[in-house]
Amino acid sequence: MANQLTMRYGCNPHQAPARCFRRDGGPLPLQVLNGSPSYINLLDALNSWQLVRELRQALALPAAASFKHVSPAGVAVAVPLGAQLRAAYFAEEDELSPLATAYLRARGADPLASFGDWVALSDRVDVSTARLLQRETSDGVLAPGYEPEALEILKSKKGGDYRILEVDPAYEPGPQELREVFGLALEQPRNLFIPDDNFFAKVVTQRRDLPEAARRDLVVATLAIKYTQSNSVGLALDGQAVGIGAGQQSRVHCVRLAAGKADLWYLRQHPRVLGLKFRKGIKRAERINAIDLYLQEDATPQELQAWEANFAEVPARLSAAEKREWLDGLQGVALSSDAFFPFRDSLDRARRSGVEYVVQTGGSIRDDLVVAAADEYGMVMVNSGVRLFHH
């Protein structure tokens, strides 16, 4: 392993030169197998690796994360996909290993946000996963190892310039972490929190049942927001994040963003969407953009004119009533918040997106009103006492 990585520049081209190194002078736990990772690539790689390895540890399932700008666009563990979701992810014919399943779920949750992402994978990359990665627009990947054929598939991506990193899974950093801002050093203990039984111990609602699937989804959502820029809220279902609201200044805006993304994720599975007739030659990314525009209610005439060119048959748009009828079928969603809810408005919005299980920090002066809202909607809510800000 090398002792440092040199990069052309930092966050922006005028911040040059840049490098990655250990303050103790020791070898890096990373090996570059292909390409030349950037400063932002490494920020995404190091954050996303922590997320997938902690999911692997917490749930004993292969895990994948799709990162953009130091927050996850998608996160998932290996829960098998049904035919409806396979179709929505354009994966009806693919052979899917457990790791490939986790990656497909992570990438498919919010494909617009995942465009040009960094990918982290908890397990050794197999051919099934490499073939899925090969067809997506992505900057690079980090994993603890690669099958020889899988590595060759990935090396051919982006004209041979796809960034491939291998991480030492045994590497553990020291207990303290340090960053420098404006010439001043800030030091704190690393955030070693991983959800366990104690995290779910304080159920504060009248309804108290927490099925294993809901607990799994709350773990996925919680670890996702642990590595999401705060304020943040995450929604999860069937082992994958379906909506992440990152970096908002108010809690309810986090919920609105996450829930809106979850709604779009579920609407993409509507029979009318799955039945869209695209014109021959339309690429995956163009299909994804066309579906997104199809589901928007405020598209301009110019946008619609360009949008119609994607289809062999121009489809009728879904009405607001048709969307609402379909969204009423979205149930059993898990929500995790990185801090407490100061008002009930977050639960009012979350319920419209099928949220049934909630974990939040608790400790607001209005906890009683928030609990009353959860009871009104028949939710199960845990006050964990754990705040998970990430900056």
Burial 216-233 (b: 16+ CB within 10 A, else e): bbbbbbbbbbbbbbbbbb
Instruction: Indicate which residue of 34, 47, 68, 310 is catalytic.
Output: 68
Instruction: Indicate which residue of 47, 231, 289, 310 is catalytic.
Output: 231
List for the chain the helix, strand, coil content (%; round to 5): 40, 20, 40
312's CB contacts (< 8 A; 6+ apart) are 277, 278, 279, 280
Measured CA to CA, the distance from residue 241 to residue 270 in angstroms comes to 19
Task: Centre a 10 Å sphere on the Cβ of residue 378 and count the other Cβ atoms it contains.
Answer: 11
Instruction: Indicate which residue of 12, 14, 280, 391 is catalytic.
Output: 391
Q: Is 157 a catalytic residue?
A: no
Instruction: Indicate which residue of 69, 158, 253, 323 is catalytic.
Output: 69
3-class secondary structure, 1: coil
Q: Is 391 a catalytic residue?
A: yes
DSSP state of 319: P
Residue 143 forms beta bridges with which residues? 166
Q: Is 158 a catalytic residue?
A: no
| Residue 103 · residue 64 · CB < 8 Å | yes
Q: Are strands 163-167 and 30-34 parallel, antiparallel or unpaired?
A: antiparallel
Measured CA to CA, the distance from residue 224 to residue 63 in angstroms comes to 11
CA–CA distances in Å: residue 225 to residues 132, 219, 237, 266, 315: 25, 10, 15, 21, 37
Catalytic center residues: 68-69, 231, 391
